[in-house]
């Protein structure tokens, strides 16, 4: 693996040997767990997770663990993020909708893969922090808005891909209407065998569903938070 380059300020100050070794092990670990899409691996390499985790957890950034962030939310483990990205099969000309910006980590990865990313976050403080991070890295093809993504999606136009960070009992009509024919949605669902990350491909008015992997995703909270 090469050293990260790009909009994340890594050129001016090289990481320590230990951090570099952690990053290589991190990427090799993803490959060993079935992440074979080179564009996804490259995007995760040049969007350092350490820049998006709380400072007190920086030493855990390159490990495959979920980490707590503000507003009682959780930053998912990198393997789950990588599986989402690989399942989306994003092309550079795609327009992507993300529901649940969180720290902005997945948004930054999406920005490396897609032509445009529109991300919604229901917690105002998280939306502001994610937007500030992306702006500081001069990422210009991704926007973060403070809003309920399920309600705001119909106003944002049509998308080639939709990523939902959270579990839903079914696919809301607002999201189905926001996806182009042949488009892909990746989300978590409660199935008979338990919680699963699934890939939904639209064909006309129907969707073909493929199970990707087990997951521990929490139920998606709806509505814009009024306090945080």
For each of the chain's 228 residues, which pLDDT tens digit applies?
A: 333 334 555 444 445 677 778 888 999 999 999 999 999 999 999 898 999 999 999 889 989 999 999 999 999 999 999 999 999 999 999 999 999 999 999 999 999 999 999 999 999 999 999 999 999 999 999 999 999 999 999 899 999 999 999 999 888 888 999 999 999 999 999 888 889 999 999 999 899 999 999 998 888 888 888 677
The reply to whether 223 falls in a domain is no
In a domain, 88, yes or no: yes
Domain of 30: which CATH number? Answer: 3.40.50.150
The count of domains in the chain is 1
Cα gap 121→161, rounded to integer Å: 17
Query: Is residue 3 one of the residues assigned to a domain?
Result: no
H-helix or E-strand spanning residue 210: strand 206-214
How many C-beta neighbours within 10 Å does residue 205 have? 7
Residue 226 included in any domain: no
**C-alpha–C-alpha distance, residues 66 and 58, integer Å:** 12
CA distance 15 to 186: 33
Range of the domain at 51: 17-214
pLDDT of residue 2: 36
Picking from 81, 86, 83, 79, the residue whose alpha carbon sits closest to that of residue 104 is 81
Whether residue 32 is contained in a domain is answered as yes
Determine the Cα–Cα distance for residues 119 and 106; give it in Å rounded to an integer: 10
Overall pTM surpassing 0.85 (yes/no):
yes
- 3-state secondary structure (DSSP) of residue 118: strand
Phi, psi angle pair for 25, to nearest 5°: -60, -40
The pair of structure tokens assigned to 52 is 């998006």
Tokens encoding 31: 């490959």
**Inside any domain, residue 203:** yes
Q: Is residue 131 part of a domain?
A: yes
């Amino acid at each position: 693996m090469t050293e990260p380059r790009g909009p994340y300020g890594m050129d001016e100050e090289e990481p320590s040997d230990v951090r570099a070794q952690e990053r290589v092990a991190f990427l090799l670990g993803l490959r060993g767990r079935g992440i074979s899409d080179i564009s996804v691996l490259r995007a995760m390499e040049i969007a350092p997770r350490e820049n998006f985790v709380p400072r007190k957890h920086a030493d855990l950034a390159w490990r495959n663990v979920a980490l707590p962030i503000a507003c009682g939310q959780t930053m998912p483990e990198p393997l789950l993020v990588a599986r989402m990205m690989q399942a989306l099969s994003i092309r550079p000309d795609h327009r992507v909708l993300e529901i649940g910006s969180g720290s902005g980590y997945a948004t930054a990865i999406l920005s490396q893969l897609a032509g445009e990313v529109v991300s919604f976050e229901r917690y105002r403080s998280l939306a502001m922090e994610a937007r500030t991070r992306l702006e500081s890295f001069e990422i210009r093809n991704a926007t973060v808005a403070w809003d309920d993504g399920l309600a705001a999606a119909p106003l944002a136009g049509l998308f080639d891909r939709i990523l939902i960070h959270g579990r839903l009992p079914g696919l809301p009509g607002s999201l189905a209407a926001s996806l182009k024919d042949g488009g892909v949605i990746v989300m978590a669902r409660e199935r008979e065998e338990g919680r699963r990350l699934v890939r939904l491909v639209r064909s006309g008015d129907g969707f073909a569903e493929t199970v990707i992997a087990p997951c521990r995703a929490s139920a998606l909270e709806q509505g814009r938070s009024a306090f945080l």
